[in-house]
Structure 1
Amino acid sequence: MTALGTVFRPQFPPEILRGMAEAADDSALDQLWVWEDCFSESGVASAAAALAWTERVSVGIGLLPVPLRNVALAAMEAATLHRLFPDRVILGVGHGLQVWMGQAGARVSSPLTLLREYLDALRALLRGEEVTVDGTYVKLDKVRLDWPPLKPVPVFAGGIGPKTLRLTGEAADGTLAVADQPADGVRRIRETVGPTQPIIAALHVTTGPDAAERLARAVPSGVGVAGDAETVAAAVRTLAAVGADTVVLQPTGDEPDPVGFVRFVADEVRPLVP
């Protein structure tokens, strides 16, 4: 079965998160994702609130920008969420948009080196291990979490380029594909990361009378889907057929009814996706 999710976008004001989270939780949706785009909402704070307001739906954070977050702090926050809300947290990390990292004074000269060091340390800390490392960027001295997760938890990583995708296949537990990868792109990611690693793909979706116009404004490349539930479900099935285990349908930033979008995905698209 293909898992299906949707996104609370950082273009939406924080106060509408609760309505979207509760709508997702009351429905057949598997996942609700929050982002940590600079300089909008905190991914961890948003995820914690969404988890507290809900009982069933999984909440994903995509992506925590690793230059901006010390790995020990990220491990503490992730472990706390996993202890409070077992089996409902999906953690994603990535390079972060380099211009934003520069604005925040956190840009590094080798994002690939940082991401590999970070993934190795983060996964070890979440396993409850004591970690000492003196890397180029990640430096820890006998760090061990007092309250690690009670069982192993996956860490996803995301990226665009082939080098980053090879790294996610080697060093992460799953891969987050950038939004609006066409089917051929998802197929190439599957070939890169191997046959067993979970892949989460994202797809812009618009529906309603002005769907095509809103999609064209939001996604100039044209990769996305505008239309009714069957049109959207067909696009989801195509991504699943080429290797996506989860498809996250994301509204555009100008979506006029974000809560209604959640209900559209849950009530109309979900029944059409096996």
Structure 2
Amino acid sequence: MKKNILIALLFLLVFSPFPALALQPGAQKSPENPRVLVIPGTGDSQNLLRKLAQLFGRNRPGFTVEIPESIGSGGGIRSVLTGKNEIARVARPLTEKESGQTLSFRVFAHSPIVFAVSSEIAGVESLTLAQLVEIYSGKIQYWDSLGGSGKIYVMNREDGDSSRTVLDQLVPGFKEIIVPPGSVIYSTPEAVQTLLSSPNTIGYLPMPALIDTGLKVLKVQDVAPSAANIREKKYRLVVPFALVWKEPLSPLAQHFLDFLSSPGARKLMLENGVIPVNESN
């Protein structure tokens, strides 16, 4: 009897379908859960991708796409290059050095960069490009001169941030502001919290981060950051939302990429203020 039990145990150890149970010397580490896809990276598309991941999972029980807290576009790319994650989210084009790392890159949506303020700021609905530069250079310090009231507090992003890069390129004079007043914020989720907790503050960030926050989005040059105005290139302050990876992709990662082109995903993107790539051409 004992001999039969011993033979059965040896059989399970050698032929078990679960490699982790096979106690073999020098056995390799078991692969990550093929039913879970983790996509690290930028905070700009964080909220949007979390909603897309939820929609993806509703029709695929047992499969999960996780969107962790921001580590920036660069951090996401490094996680792919080091093999820690197979896919990452970014909000900028690849650098020349990154392009030489055999990375695949796909823009799945375009998001407007918007200027936002507390809903308590009344009388200010639109700002010109010149007024924005004067605010961020410290020349305009009070909302009173713009139709509101109270002192203006400025929230800026760090040099190299995707939103700031767009403003440096497209807003004349913005790049020349050497030392802007106010605070520098280093992630989009933190930028949202700063605007929510700091009355009279103005900041800029991608539109999806503002959905359901109650913050007030300002027009620029009297042009709203609507889908129609983006398509017609009337509103030009736009940042790409993209994913990067190294081939080959796992089946789950490929399914998620394909899902981003589905009607349901495109509808959700539009509801969150961004333009799917196949909707913007």
- For Structure 1 versus Structure 2, the TM-score category normalised by the shorter chain is under 0.3
Between Structure 1 and Structure 2, whose CA radius of gyration is higher?
2
TM-score of the pair, normalised by structure 2: 0.26
Which structure has more relative contact order (CA 8 Å, sep 6+)? It is: 2
